[in-house]
Structure 1
Amino acid sequence: MHPYKKQPDHAFWARAVGRVATTDVDPIVQPAFRIDKQTKIAAAGSCFAQHLARYLQLSGFNYMVTETPHPLIVEEISRKFNYGNFTARFGNVYTAKQLLQLFLRVFNEFSPAEDVWQGKNGRFYDPFRPQIQPNGYATLLEYTRDRERHFAAVREMFRTVEVFIFTLGLTEAWMSARDGAVYPLCPGVAAGTFDPALHQFKNFRLAEVVQDLGAFYGRLKELNPGAKMLLTVSPVPLVATAENRHVLQSTVYSKSVLRVACQELQESYDDIHYFPSYEIICGHHTKGMFFEDDKRSVAERGVDHVMGLFFKHYANIHVDFSKAAPSSPVVAACDCSESERLAQALCDEELLDS
Structure 2
Amino acid sequence: MNWFTSFEIPPASAPISHHSKVLSMGSCFAQVVGSKLESCKFDVLTNPFGTIFHPKILNRLLDHALFNDSMDESGVLERDGLYFHYKAHSDLVGKSIEELRQKWNSKIKETHEYLSSGTHLILTFGTAWIYEHQDFGSVANCHKQPQKIFEKKLSSMQKMLLDLEITLGNISRSNPNLKFILTVSPVRHIKDGIPENQLSKSILRLLCHELEKKLESVSYFPAYEIMMDELRDYRFYKEDRIHPTAEAENYIWKRFSETYFPKETQIKISEIQKIQQELAHRPLNPESGSHRKFLQNLRSKLEQMGTEFDFSKEMKLVTTELEKLNS
Do these two structures clear the TM 0.5 threshold for a shared fold by scoring above it?
yes
> Which one of the candidate residues 261, 280, 305 is aligned to 2:226?
280
Q: Distance in 2 between matches of 1:162 and 1:310?
A: 17
Query: Equivalent residue for 1:122?
Result: 81
Q: Where in structure 2 are the equivalents of 1:29-178 lying within 5 Å?
A: 29-63=10-44, 65=45, 86=46, 89-106=48-65, 107=67, 112=72, 114-119=74-79, 121-133=80-92, 136-178=93-135
Query: Equivalent residue for 1:303?
Result: 249
Q: Distance in 2 between matches of 1:117 and 1:327?
A: 42
Shift in Å at residue 166 of structure 1? 0.4
Query: Equivalent residue for 2:155?
Result: 204
Query: Equivalent residue for 2:141?
Result: 185
Q: For each residue in 1:321-350, what CA deviation from the matched residue of structure 2 results, as whole angstroms up to 9, or x when unmatched? A: xxx899635656789xxxxxxxxxxxxxxx
> Which one of the candidate residues 170, 175, 190 is aligned to 1:224?
175
Name the count of aligned residue pairs: 278
Q: Distance in 2 between matches of 1:285 and 1:147?
A: 38
Q: Distance in 1 between matches of 2:43 and 2:169?
A: 24
Q: Distance in 2 between matches of 1:260 and 1:277?
A: 14
Q: For each residue in 1:9-49, what CA deviation from the matched residue of structure 2 results, as whole angstroms up to 9, or x when unmatched? A: xxxxxxxxxx7563x82430342321211011110000111
AA of the residue aligned to 2:180: M
Q: How big is the alpha-carbon RMSD for the aligned residues of Structure 1 and Structure 2?
A: 3.0
Q: For each residue in 1:259-292, what CA deviation from the matched residue of structure 2 results, as whole angstroms up to 9, or x when unmatched? A: 1111111122111000011111111763334222
Q: Distance in 2 between matches of 1:156 and 1:26?
A: 36
**Secondary structure of the structure 2 residue equivalent to 1:240:** helix
Q: Distance in 1 between matches of 2:85 and 2:102?
A: 12
Shift in Å at residue 108 of structure 1? 5.6
Q: Does structure 2 retain, via aligned residues, the 8 Å contact 1:101–1:110?
A: no
Q: Does structure 2 retain, via aligned residues, the 8 Å contact 1:46–1:94?
A: yes
Q: Does structure 1 retain, via aligned residues, the 8 Å contact 2:86–2:139?
A: yes
Q: Does structure 2 retain, via aligned residues, the 8 Å contact 1:311–1:319?
A: no
Unaligned 5+ runs, structure 1 = 1-18, 66-85, 242-246, 336-354
Q: Does structure 2 retain, via aligned residues, the 8 Å contact 1:115–1:126?
A: yes
Q: Distance in 2 between matches of 1:52 and 1:304?
A: 10
> Which one of the candidate residues 209, 226, 235 is aligned to 1:263?
209
**Secondary structure of the structure 2 residue equivalent to 1:283:** helix
Distance 1:115 1:235, change over 3 A: same
Distance 1:334 1:265, change over 3 A: farther
**Secondary structure of the structure 2 residue equivalent to 1:118:** strand
Which sits farther off after the overlay, 52-61 or 268-277? 52-61
Q: Does structure 2 retain, via aligned residues, the 8 Å contact 1:266–1:272?
A: yes
Q: Does structure 2 retain, via aligned residues, the 8 Å contact 1:49–1:166?
A: yes
Q: Does structure 1 retain, via aligned residues, the 8 Å contact 2:69–2:108?
A: no
Bigger share in helix: 2
Distance 1:208 1:118, change over 3 A: same
AA of the residue aligned to 1:300: A
Higher relative contact order (Cα pairs below 8 Å, separated by 6+ residues) = 1
Q: Does structure 1 retain, via aligned residues, the 8 Å contact 2:55–2:125?
A: yes
Q: Distance in 2 between matches of 1:37 and 1:295?
A: 35
Distance 1:141 1:310, change over 3 A: same
AA of the residue aligned to 2:9: I
Q: For each residue in 1:178-224, what CA deviation from the matched residue of structure 2 results, as whole angstroms up to 9, or x when unmatched? A: 464x212235x2xx45553xx43221122123222212211211221
Which sits farther off after the overlay, 40-49 or 98-107? 98-107
Shift in Å at residue 312 of structure 1? 1.5
Q: Does structure 1 retain, via aligned residues, the 8 Å contact 2:71–2:104?
A: no
**Secondary structure of the structure 2 residue equivalent to 1:128:** coil
AA of the residue aligned to 2:35: R
Query: Equivalent residue for 2:9?
Result: 28
Distance 1:47 1:332, change over 3 A: farther
Query: Equivalent residue for 1:316?
Result: 262
